[in-house]
């Protein structure tokens, strides 16, 4: 039986650049750095973002951007705060996508290696309730 989410791993070209991205935008806490040791397939770092284990490993960037993404829940009151953090790093930001009213707001941003992140104010329950309304 699946007990829950274990961790999310991203392969990145530059561990330090991704460290700044994660800590500056998501308040990630770095909990491990392999340094020059390799216990896995490459150098790596581990972070906690609101209790979620996020691993980053050195490697080649994704060749292109896609809509595959990780969405993190944020409170509506924090929407502008996160938008400001993203802009402060000079990261391209897309606010929302075409959606029906009532399913939450989103901030979309790509990291330096073409991974897409979404910061979303809504919940699954809100979305399904809205879709039931037609």
pLDDT in tens, the chain (134 residues): 878 889 999 999 999 999 999 999 999 999 999 988 888 889 999 999 999 999 999 999 999 999 999 999 999 999 999 999 999 999 999 987 666 677 788 999 999 999 999 999 988 888 888 777 76
Answer whether 0.85 is exceeded by the pTM.
yes
Note down the domain range covering 5: 1-59
CATH number (domain holding residue 99): 3.10.180.10
pLDDT for residue 49? 97
Total number of domains in the chain? 2
Of 3, 30, 44, 125, catalytic: 44
pLDDT on residue 73: 94
At 111 the pLDDT is 96
Are residues 29 and 50 located together in one domain of the fold? Answer: yes
User: Is residue 44 located within the same domain as residue 69?
Assistant: no
Active site residue 129: no
Output the 3-class SS for the chain. CCCCCCEEEEEECCHHHHHHHHHHHHCCEEEEECCCCCCCCCCEEEEEECCEEEEEEECCCCCCCCCCEEEEECCHHHHHHHHHHHHHCCCCEEECCCCCCCCCCEEEEECCCCCEEEEECCCHHHHHHHHHCC
CA distance 71 to 67: 11
């Amino acid at each position: 039986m699946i007990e829950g989410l274990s961790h999310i791993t991203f392969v990145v070209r530059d561990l330090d650049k991704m460290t700044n991205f994660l800590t500056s935008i998501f308040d990630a806490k770095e909990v491990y750095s392999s340094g020059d040791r390799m216990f896995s397939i490459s150098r790596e770092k581990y972070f906690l973002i609101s209790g979620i284990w996020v691993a980053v490993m050195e490697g080649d960037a994704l060749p292109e951007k896609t809509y595959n993404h990780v969405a993190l829940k944020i409170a509506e009151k924090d929407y502008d705060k996160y938008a400001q953090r993203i802009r402060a790093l000079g990261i391209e930001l897309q606010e929302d996508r075409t959606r029906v009213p009532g399913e939450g707001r989103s901030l979309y941003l790509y990291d330096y290696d073409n991974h897409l992140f979404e910061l979303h104010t809504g919940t699954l329950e809100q979305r399904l309730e809205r879709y039931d309304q037609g």
